[in-house]
Structure 1
Amino acid sequence: MSFLSPTLRLENLSTQPIMSLDHVPEAQRYNKQHIVAQWCAPINGKMYRIELEHGTTSGRRMIWVNGREVLRRDWMFKLVGEDTFLIESSRCIIRVDPAPGFKYEYSLYIDGKPHAQYTEELTRQYRLWLITSETGQEYRIMLKLDTLSLYVNDELREEAVNPKKQLTGNGIFCNNPLSAPFWQAVFVQGGTDTHFVLDQIQFVLQARSSGNKHDGIVHTLLADGSLVPEAKIQEIMQEPVSILQTN
């Protein structure tokens, strides 16, 4: 006589333990409370938040990039080691090493460089500004110094080249200065002003000579005439995930 209910007979039970999370939707698998390490880094002009989930009992390791799963190992007998994954064309490695007191150390390498070194080198190649409009829209504006490429929320913005556009009184080449999705550089005394409009905010990216070889060109950003403080890439770690989210 079986003490099991008719639907739970032994022959109906799985012979293999269920260790996979495939049956759980990705949105439910992502849980900030399970994250043990996180990093932030610019790659090809886009900002990425890299997060690691490490189950110290099961050995499960999950890697998330901007809130999306890129690698998952549901069951691992070895709790330490490394996992490799790609972000665009950059090769990334997360290492899990033992630490004193039955703890673990987590390290990220990007293109063969430790995260701290990679980020420090990239910081010198970019300028970054963060601003939120009155409608609540977050904007992350990044300038790549070697190519002067302008990125807005990870999207490369091209310079407007259209002879039919007319120069407005404030130096902006556009038909509708409140909704134009492009930018235009204008030469001024001592440098250049790059004008663009986002969410009815008039932006001016100024480039001026610092007067010495060490500092080179100084870039400042104005929003409706007010100075936008420059942000550091490391400060993005404190920002909401939404500002790093990509579709």
Structure 2
Amino acid sequence: SFSPPYSLEKMTDFVAVWDVALSDGVHKIEFEHGTTSGKRVVYVDGKEEIRKEWMFKLVGKETFCVGAAKTKATINIDAVSGFAYEYTLEINGKSLKKYMENRSKTTNTWVMNLDGEDFRVVLGK
């Protein structure tokens, strides 16, 4: 019998997805956090970078590298209240929002749509 290469349960553990524009292009970072299983999985551009099972400490951080320049990225996991968690991504020690604000000051960026696909054009200053 045919079984699909994924499980439905797996999809529900994705808690955050970020698109990060680096000098070599835009990278997708996905984070799975199974609060019941204690699972933490980090994917960069669809490739598994970190997998930890049975992490009973549900808060903390995961650090990994992104892109050709091996840019340091950290996902911070914080408890907000009860069973709610907040996930923040840091790039080179800056929150993603601050990183993107800094980057927009040093580069000109346009997003254009071609045949239904968004393309980002980045010119360094």
Coarse TM-score class (shorter-chain normalised): 0.7 to 0.9
**Paired amino acid for 1:101:** G
2:121 to 132, 142, 157: 142
Who is 1:41 aligned against? 20
Tell which structure's C-alpha radius of gyration is larger. Answer: 1
Question: Which deviations, in whole Å up to 9, do the C-alpha atoms of 1:142-171 show, x marking residues without a partner?
Answer: 22232xxxxxxxxxxxxxxxxxxxxxxxxx
- Counterpart in the other structure of 1:78: 57
Q: TM-score when scaled to structure 2?
A: 0.79
CA distance in 1, matches of 2:44, 2:112: 20
Is contact 1:45-1:142 (8 Å) kept?
Answer: no
Structure 1 residues 142 and 118: CA distance shift in structure 2, 3 A: same
- Higher strand proportion: 2
1:69 equivalent in structure 2: 48
Shift of 1:129: 2.5
Structure 2, gaps ≥5 residues long: none
2:87 pairs, out of 106, 113, 118, with 106
Residue equivalent to 1:128: 110
The answer to whether the 8 A contact 1:45-1:144 is kept is no
Quote the Cα distance in structure 2 between the aligned partners of 1:103 and 1:141.
33
Would the alpha carbon gap of residues 45 and 51 (structure 1) be closer, same or farther in structure 2, given more than 3 Å must change? same
What do residues 198-218 of structure 1 show as CA deviations (whole Å, max 9, x unaligned)? xxxxxxxxxxxxxxxxxxxxx
**CA–CA separation in structure 1 for the residues paired with 2:11 and 2:25:** 22
CA distance in 2, matches of 1:126, 1:53: 32
SS in 1 for 2:32: strand
Distance 2:33 2:89 in 1: 14
- The 5 Å alignment of 1:1-247 reads 28=6, 32-88=11-67, 89-124=70-105, 125-133=107-115, 138=117, 140-146=119-125
Task: Provide the C-alpha distance between the structure 2 equivalents of 1:43 and 1:127, rounded to a whole number of angstroms.
Answer: 12
- How many positions carry a matched residue from both structures? 118
- Identity across matched positions, percent: 36
The 3-state SS of whatever aligns with 1:77 is coil
Deviation of residue 86 (structure 1)? 0.2
Unpaired stretches in structure 1, ≥5 consecutive residues: 1-24, 147-247
| Structure 2 residue matching 1:28: 3-state secondary structure | coil
Q: Counterpart in 2 of 1:181?
A: none
Distance 1:129 1:140 in 2: 6
